[in-house]
C-alpha cells in the first residue's frame, strides 16, 4: 500500500466515523427516554423497596434525597452518630423516617429490604458484611475499601449472600457514559494511548475543612461509636466532621476524588485492573493538622496499552474537563453529562524532514507523493467542527441509586458490582502506597497482590 493510499483510506474512515458519531448523538438526544420517565410512566406499578440509611452526613443526605425521588422507594430509618444529622433527615424526608444512633437497629429491622452505607471509609467492610448477614441488599459509597486488602473479603461476602451489592460511584451512571463508551469502543478515537483526569478545588471546604456545627459536643456526637474499628482517640470534633483529612478513616485524594476518574476511565476504556502506579505529592498549602496530601499526581499504566494521568490540587480551581481521552484519530473531552469529540486523524507535513534535500529532489518527491507546495498531501484530512453531545437524563446520583433499586426489584446485576468497585479503589490505594514509599508499585494479577 502506498503512502497516498494509506492517507486516503484513513481520511475516508475518519470522515465516516465523524458522520456516524454526529448522527448517533443527534438520534440519542432526540429519542432517548430518561429512567425517570420510564419509572413514572402512567399506569406503571412498582414494587416497594424499603430502605435504611447508615450515615446521613453530607453524602448520605444527598443519597437519601435522591432515593426519596424514586417511585416505590420507602425510607424507613436513618442512623448516624450526630443527632443533628438525624434531625435533618426527619426535616428533609417525608414521611419522616425513624432515627437511631445505632446502625445495628437498622440491620435488625425485618421491614427493611436494603441499606445504604455512607459512613467514613473505615466502616465500609464491617457494615457491609453485617448487612449481608442480616439479609439486606447493600449500596456502599465509594471508595468501597479503606485498604486494598479488604477487596477479597468484600467480593466473597457479596457473592456468598446472593444480594445486590452496588458500589456508589455515580460516574458509572453519568448521562453521557453510554455515548462516550460507544465512541471509544467504536474506534472513533483510534487507539487511545493517554487519558488525563483532574479534580481541582480552591476553598477550605474543597480541602475538606468542613464547618463544625455550633451544637456539636459530647452530648450530640457519639465519638467512640464513630471510631469503631479505627484506633482509639480522644474526643475530637475535627476528626468526626473532617474525617477525610485523616488516614485512620480515609484514603485522601486518591480514594475520594481519583476514584471517580478511575471509575469512568475503566468504564469507557473497558478495563478494570491496572498494571503499575507511580504517585507523588504532599501537603503544600493546607498545613493545619491534616494528614493526607492536599496535592497529588499519579501515573497509572494498563496492560491494554495506555497511561492514565491523574492530578488533584486544593490550591487552584481552574476549569476544564475532568477527563480527556487522546487517540490516534481523535480526542474526547468528557464531563459526564456532556462530551465533545474532535476529529483529529494523523496528518503529514514533509517540510521539516525534507529541508536538507536539494530543490530538485524535493520537487520530484512532491510530484511522486502528490503534495501541495507546502509539502502536505493534496487529499489530506478535511477539517471538521467538534461534535458535542449533552445528556438530558436525570441527576447521576439519583440514576445510580435507581439502577440499584431496579436490580433489587428484577434480580438483575448492579451497574457497579463489587469487583468493579474493588478495582477502582485499588488504583487509589496504589497511589497512596506509591506516595508513601516513594517508589512505583505494581499489581500482580496472578497472586492478586500489590507489590511495593
pLDDT digits (tens, 9 = 90+) for 49-76: 999 999 999 999 999 999 999 999 999 9
- 320-334 tens-digit pLDDT: 999 999 999 999 999
Average pLDDT over residues 250-258: 98
- 215-226 tens-digit pLDDT: 999 999 999 999
Q: Check residue 37 and give its pLDDT.
A: 40
With bands split at pLDDT 50, 70 and 90, how would you rate the model's confidence at 319? confident
Between the CA atoms of 253, 254, 258 and 264, what dihedral angle is there, to the nearest 10 degrees? -150
With bands split at pLDDT 50, 70 and 90, how would you rate the model's confidence at 32? very low
Our CA angle for 262, 266, 267, nearest 5°, is: 115
Q: Check residue 41 and give its pLDDT.
A: 40
- Exposure on the CB side of residue 179, measured as CA atoms within 13 A: 31
- 165-214 tens-digit pLDDT: 999 999 999 999 999 999 999 999 999 999 999 999 999 999 999 999 99
Least confident of 43-57, 76-90, 116-130: 43-57
Task: Tally Cβ neighbours within 10 Å of residue 13.
Answer: 15
Which strands sit side by side in the sheet containing 137-141, from one edge to the other? 98-100, 73-79, 49-54, 114-117, 137-141, 165-168
For 307, the 3-state DSSP assignment is strand
Q: Is 90 exceeded by the pLDDT of residue 160?
A: yes
We find that the CATH architecture of domain 3-33+174-346+382-393+421-451 is: 2-Layer Sandwich (3.30)
Taking the CA atoms of 47, 53, 58 and 59 in sequence, report the sign of the dihedral they define.
Answer: negative
To which CATH superfamily is domain 37-172 assigned?
NAD(P)-binding Rossmann-like Domain (3.40.50.720)
Between the CA atoms of 270, 321, 173 and 315, what dihedral angle is there, to the nearest 10 degrees? 110
For 299, the 3-state DSSP assignment is strand
Class of residue 366 by CB neighbours under 10 A (exposed 0-12, middle 13-18, buried 19+): middle
Q: Check residue 211 and give its pLDDT.
A: 98
Q: Break the chain into its structural domains and give their ranges.
A: 3-33+174-346+382-393+421-451, 37-172
Q: Check residue 8 and give its pLDDT.
A: 40
Q: Check residue 44 and give its pLDDT.
A: 56
Q: Is 70 exceeded by the pLDDT of residue 95?
A: yes
With bands split at pLDDT 50, 70 and 90, how would you rate the model's confidence at 23? very low
Average pLDDT value for the chain: 91
Task: Tally Cβ neighbours within 10 Å of residue 108.
Answer: 11
Amino acid at each position: 500500500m502506498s503512502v497516498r493510499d494509506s492517507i486516503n483510506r484513513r481520511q475516508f474512515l475518519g470522515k465516516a466515523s465523524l458522520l456516524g458519531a454526529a448522527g448517533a448523538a443527534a438520534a440519542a438526544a432526540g429519542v432517548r427516554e430518561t429512567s425517570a420517565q420510564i419509572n413514572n410512566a402512567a399506569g406503571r406499578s412498582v414494587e416497594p423497596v424499603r430502605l435504611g440509611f447508615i450515615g446521613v452526613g453530607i453524602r448520605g443526605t444527598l443519597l437519601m434525597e435522591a432515593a426519596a425521588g424514586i417511585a416505590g422507594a420507602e425510607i424507613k430509618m436513618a442512623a448516624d452518630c450526630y443527632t443533628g444529622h438525624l434531625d435533618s433527615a426527619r426535616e428533609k424526608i417525608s414521611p419522616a423516617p425513624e432515627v437511631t444512633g445505632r446502625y445495628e437497629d437498622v440491620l435488625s429491622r425485618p421491614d427493611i429490604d436494603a441499606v445504604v452505607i455512607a459512613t467514613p471509609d473505615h466502616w465500609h467492610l464491617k457494615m457491609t458484611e453485617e448487612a449481608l448477614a442480616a439479609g439486606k441488599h447493600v449500596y456502599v459509597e465509594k471508595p468501597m475499601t479503606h485498604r486494598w486488602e479488604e477487596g477479597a473479603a468484600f467480593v466473597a461476602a457479596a457473592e456468598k449472600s446472593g444480594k445486590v451489592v452496588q458500589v456508589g460511584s455515580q460516574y458509572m451512571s453519568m448521562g453521557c457514559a453510554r455515548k462516550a463508551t460507544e465512541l471509544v469502543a467504536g474506534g472513533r478515537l483510534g487507539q487511545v494511548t493517554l487519558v488525563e483526569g483532574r479534580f481541582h478545588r480552591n476553598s477550605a471546604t474543597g480541602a475538606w475543612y468542613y464547618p463544625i456545627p455550633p451544637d456539636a459536643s459530647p452530648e450530640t456526637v457519639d465519638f467512640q461509636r464513630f471510631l469503631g474499628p479505627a484506633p482509639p482517640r480522644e474526643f475530637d470534633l475535627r476528626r468526626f466532621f473532617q474525617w477525610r483529612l485523616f488516614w485512620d478513616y480515609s484514603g485522601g485524594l486518591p480514594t475520594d476524588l481519583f476514584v471517580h476518574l478511575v471509575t469512568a476511565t475503566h468504564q469507557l476504556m473497558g478495563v478494570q485492573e491496572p498494571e503499575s502506579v507511580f504517585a507523588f505529592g504532599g501537603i503544600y498549602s493546607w498545613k493545619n493538622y491534616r494528614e493526607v496530601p492536599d496535592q497529588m499526581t499519579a501515573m497509572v499504566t494498563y496492560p491494554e496499552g495506555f497511561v492514565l494521568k491523574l492530578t488533584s490540587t486544593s490550591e487552584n480551581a481552574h476549569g476544564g474537563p475532568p477527563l480527556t481521552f487522546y487517540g490516534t484519530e481523535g480526542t474526547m473531552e468528557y464531563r459526564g453529562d456532556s462530551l465533545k469529540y474532535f476529529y483529529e486523524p494523523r496528518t503529514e507535513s514533509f517540510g521539516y524532514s525534507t529541508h536538507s534535500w536539494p530543490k530538485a529532489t524535493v520537487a520530484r518527491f512532491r510530484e511522486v507523493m502528490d503534495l501541495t507546495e507546502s509539502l502536505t498531501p493534496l487529499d489530506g484530512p478535511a477539517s471538521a467542527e467538534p461534535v458535542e453531545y449533552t445528556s438530558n437524563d436525570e441527576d447521576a446520583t439519583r440514576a445510580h441509586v435507581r439502577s440499584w433499586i431496579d436490580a433489587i426489584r428484577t434480580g438483575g446485576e448492579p451497574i457497579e458490582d463489587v469487583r468493579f468497585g474493588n478495582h477502582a479503589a485499588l488504583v487509589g490505594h496504589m497511589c497512596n502506597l506509591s506516595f508513601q514509599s516513594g517508589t512505583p508499585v505494581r499489581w500482580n494479577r496472578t497472586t492478586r497482590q500489590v507489590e511495593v
